[in-house]
Amino acid sequence: MTAHLPHVPRSDARDNRARILAAARTVFAEAGLGAPVREVARHAEVGPATLYRHFPTKRELVMAAFADQRQVCRAVVHDALADPDPWRGFRSVIVRICELHARSRGFADAFMAAYPEAMDFAADRERTLRAVGELTRRAQRAGRLRPDFVLDDLILMLMAHRGAQDAPPAARLAASRRFAAYVIEAFRTVPPPAAPSPLPRAPRLGA
């Protein structure tokens, strides 16, 4: 009868797995996906063999470490498409995707397919692009988004946004929000003589 019982990991194994995932999120967030797996093991205070028992490949570790961010990314797309105001939905995608990227260099690497072992994130990227494509059409029909906006502009924006990750950690999120606000101003149609929307507070980046 015991052969039919489900395998339940021991508590120490569950603890090790949780520590490894927490360490992976921290290490990849700061160093990106190029960080070695041994650094994750060191940060988790486990041996490399223990890490590989739980995650035989780096790809599996990356997928598990960023499961929550992938879920948030899906929610961003869902919420934006459900918003009856297409311009507000469009803006929310810009702001929230930038924030996800600012919080984790590793997630940005995976989303932008900058790391070969993170190709499973391509579905998240394509889902976001499809959502932005639909929001683009709606917002342009509503006269709120400039008619020459194209999807490549979103990729260009995210490539430029990666520079925000070079800001000091305490200022990174504020820098991302200000960048997103500037980009949204550039994308919107401004009927004269309307004034531009106020920008978020500028982060302190210099000495």
pLDDT at 92 > cutoff 80:
yes
CATH code matching the domain that covers 11-65, chosen among 3.60.10.10, 1.10.10.60, 1.10.357.10, 3.40.190.10: 1.10.10.60
pLDDT, position 9: 57
pLDDT at 50 > cutoff 90:
yes
Determine the average pLDDT of the residues in 95-106. 94
Inter-residue long-range contacts of 54-63, CB under 8 Å, 24+ positions, other chains counted? 54/13, 54/16, 54/17, 54/20, 55/20, 57/117, 58/117, 59/117, 59/118, 59/120, 61/20, 61/24, 61/37, 62/24, 62/28, 62/33, 62/106, 62/110, 62/115, 62/117, 62/118, 63/120
User: What's the topology of domain 67-187?
Assistant: Tetracycline Repressor; domain 2 (1.10.357)
pLDDT, position 77: 92
Q: Where do the domains of the chain lie? A: 11-65, 67-187
pLDDT in tens, 105-152: 999 988 887 566 666 788 888 888 889 999 999 999 999 999 999 988
C-alpha gyration radius of the chain: 20
Determine the average pLDDT of the residues in 56-76. 93
Using alpha carbons, list the distances in angstroms from residue 180 to 2, 53, 183.
Answer: 57, 41, 5
pLDDT at 191 > cutoff 90:
no
Residue with tokens 């797309």: 77
Residue 121 or residue 77, greater confidence = 77
pTM above 0.85? no
Dihedral, 20, 98, 165, 176 alpha carbons, nearest 10: -130
pLDDT at 3 > cutoff 70:
no
pLDDT, position 1: 46
- Cα angle 12, 13, 16 (rounded to 5 degrees) comes to 85
Q: Which helix (H) or strand (E) holds 151?
A: helix 151-161
- What's the CA gap between 200 and 175, in Å, rounded? 9
Q: What is the distance, to the nearest Å, from the Cα of residue 35 to the centroid of all Cα atoms in its chain? A: 17
pLDDT in tens, 39-48: 999 999 999 9
pLDDT, position 184: 95
pLDDT, position 118: 61
pLDDT in tens, 146-187: 999 998 898 899 999 998 888 888 899 999 999 999 999 999
- What's the CA gap between 16 and 41, in Å, rounded? 10
Which of 10-19, 87-96, 142-151 has the lowest average pLDDT? 10-19
pLDDT, position 91: 95
